[in-house]
Chain A
Amino acid sequence: MPIPPPLPRKLVCFSGDRAQFSRLVRRGTLLELVTVGFYRFWLATDIRRHMWSNTAIDSDAAEYTGRGKELLIGFLFALAILVPIYLAYFLIGLEVERFKAFASFPLFLFFYLFGQFAIYRARRYRLTRTVWRGVRFWMDGSGWAYAGRAALWGLMMIPTLGLILPSREAALERYKMQHCHYGDLQGGFAGTGKEFFKRGWWLWLLVVALIFGIAMFPVIAVRFQGYPETKLAPVLLLAGFVSMPFIYGAFKAVEWRWWISGIRFGEVRFEASLARRALIGLYWKVIGWFVLIAVSFGGYLFGSASVIARISHLPVAQLFTPGNQHANIPMLLLAGFGYLAFILVMNVVLRVYLLRDLWERLANSTTVHRIEAIDSVSARGDLASALGEGFADGLDIVGF
Chain B
Amino acid sequence: MDSDPEHIASPPGPGGSVVYFDGRSSRRRPVTLAFSDQLELHELQMAVVHWPYDDIRRADGPAGTLRLTCLTAPALARLEVRDAALATELTARCSRLDENAPGRGAAAIVAWSLAAAVSIITVILFGVPLAADRLTPLVPQSFERRLGDVADGQVRIMFGNKVCNDAAGQAAFTKLVKALRDAAGLDPSVQTAVLATPIPNAFALPGGKVYLFNGLLARAQDPDEIAGVLAHELGHLRHRDVTRNLIYNGGTSFLIGLLFGDVTGSGAMVFASRTLVTVSYSREAEQGADDFSIEVMRKLGRPTKPMGELLFRVTGKQGDKGLSFLAGHPLTEDRLRHMTEASRPASGPPLLTADEWQSLKTICKMAGAGKI
Known: A134-B23, A378-B24, A393-B261. A328 touches B323 (CB 8 A): yes
Q: Nearest chain-B residue to A96 (Cβ)?
A: B150
- Kindly state whether residue A45 has any CB partner on chain B within 8 Å: yes
Is the beta-carbon distance between A37 and B263 smaller than 8 angstroms?
yes
Q: Number of contacts between A and B (CB, 8 Å)?
A: 195
Interface flags, A32-50, vs B, CB<8A=1, else 0: 1111111110100110010
Decide if A321 touches B320 in the complex (CB within 8 Å). Answer: yes
Is the pair B323, A322 in contact by a Cβ cutoff of 8 Å? yes
The answer to whether A376 and B319 have CB atoms under 8 Å apart is no
Binds B, one of A62-70, A139-147, A171-179, A212-220: A62-70
Q: Which residue of B lies closest to A14 (CB)?
A: B62
Q: Which of A114-122, A274-282, A332-340 contacts B (4 or more CB under 8 A)?
A: A332-340
B76 touches A135 (CB 8 A): yes
A135 and B25 within 8 A (CB) = yes
Known: A2-B85, A321-B320, A322-B325. A344 touches B60 (CB 8 A): no
Q: Is B46 an interface residue (CB 8 A)?
A: no
**B153 contacts which chain A residues (CB < 8 A)?**
97-98, 100-102
Indicate if the CB atoms of A339 and B269 lie closer than 8 Å: yes
Judge whether A37 and B260 touch: CB under 8 Å. yes
**Interface size of A by Cβ–Cβ distance < 8 Å?**
73
A127 within 8 A of B: no
Distance between A29 CB and nearest chain B CB, rounded to angstroms: 9
Question: Considering only CB atoms, which chain B residue lies closest to A35 in the complex?
Answer: B113
A375 CA to B21 CA, complexed, in Å: 11
Q: Given A4-B17, A321-B320, A376-B25, do A61 and B82 touch, yes or no (CB 8 Å)?
A: no
* B62 lies within 8 A of A379 (CB): no
Q: How far is B269's CA from A377's CA once the two chains are assembled, in angstroms?
A: 50
Establish whether residues B146 and A98, one from each chain, have CB atoms under 8 Å apart when the complex forms: yes
B residues in contact with A7, CB < 8 Å: 82
In the complex, what residues of B have CB within 8 A of residue A208's CB? none
Instruction: Report the stretch among B103-111, B167-175, B178-186 that lies at the interface.
Output: B103-111
Q: Is the CB–CB distance between A17 and B260 below 8 Å?
A: no
Q: Which of B63-71, B90-98, B285-293 interfaces with chain A?
A: B63-71
Chain B residues with CB under 8 Å of A32's CB are 263
Residues of chain B lying within 8 A (CB to CB) of residue A2: 83-85
Name the residue on A nearest B61 (C-beta).
Answer: A53
A222 at interface, CB cutoff 8 A: no
**B140 an interface residue at 8 Å Cβ cutoff?**
no
Chain B residues near A52 (CB-CB < 8 A): 60
Say whether chain A's binding surface is mostly helix, strand, loop, or mixed: mixed
Interface residues of A in 369-384 (CB under 8 A from B): 374-379
Cβ contacts under 8 Å, B263 to chain A: 32-33, 36-37, 40, 340, 343-344
Docked pose: A42 CA to B61 CA in angstroms: 18
- In the assembled complex, how far is the CB of residue A322 from the closest CB belonging to chain B, in whole angstroms? 3
> Is A60 part of the binding interface, using a Cβ–Cβ cutoff of 8 Å?
yes
Q: Using a CB-CB cutoff of 8 Å, which residues 1-46 of chain B contact chain A?
A: 10-11, 17, 19, 21-28
CA distance A105 to B338 in the complex (A): 44
- What's the minimum C-beta distance from A114 to chain B, rounded to whole angstroms? 17
Size category of the binding interface on chain B: 35 or more
Docked pose: A371 CA to B113 CA in angstroms? 45
- Asked if B150 and A31 sit within 8 Å, CB to CB, the answer is no
Chain A residue nearest in CB terms to B77: A134
Check if A321 sits within 8 Å of B321, measured CB to CB: yes
B76 touches A131 (CB 8 A): yes
Complex-state Cα separation, A380 to B207, whole angstroms = 60
Whether A37 contacts B82 by the Cβ 8 Å rule is no
Shortest distance between the CB of B250 and any CB in chain A (Å)? 8
Cβ contact within 8 Å between B26 and A376? yes
Interface residues of B in 106-154 (CB under 8 A from A): 106, 109-110, 112-114, 116-117, 146-147, 149-150, 153-154
On chain B, the residues within 8 Å of A34 by CB distance are 110, 113-114
Known: A15-B63, A46-B103, A98-B150. A183 touches B25 (CB 8 A): yes
B109–A36 touching, CB < 8 Å = no
Whether A310 sits at the interface, judged by CB under 8 Å, is: no
Q: Which of B24, B27, B61, B82 contacts A4 (CB 8 A)?
A: B82
Known: A36-B263, A37-B259, A320-B323. A376 touches B27 (CB 8 A): yes
Q: Are A37 and B25 in contact (CB under 8 A)?
A: no
The interface centre, meaning the residue of A56, A61, A95 with most chain B CB atoms within 10 A of its CB, is: A61
Residues of B within 8 A of A161 (CB): none
Taking Cβ atoms with an 8 Å cutoff, the residues of A that contact B are: 1-4, 7, 15-17, 31-40, 42, 45-46, 49, 52-54, 56, 60-61, 63-64, 67-68, 79, 83, 86, 90, 94-95, 97-98, 100-102, 131-136, 182-183, 320-323, 325, 328-329, 332, 336, 339-340, 343-344, 347, 374-379, 393, 396
Other than the given A35-B117, A83-B254, A98-B153, 13 more pairs (CB < 8 A) read: A3-B17, A4-B17, A4-B64, A36-B116, A53-B60, A56-B62, A63-B59, A94-B147, A134-B76, A183-B26, A343-B263, A343-B264, A376-B26
Query: Please, could you name 17 A-B residue pairs with CB atoms under 8 Å apart, sorted by A?
Result: A1-B10, A46-B103, A60-B80, A83-B254, A101-B150, A101-B153, A102-B154, A134-B25, A134-B74, A135-B25, A135-B76, A336-B269, A339-B269, A347-B265, A374-B26, A378-B25, A379-B26
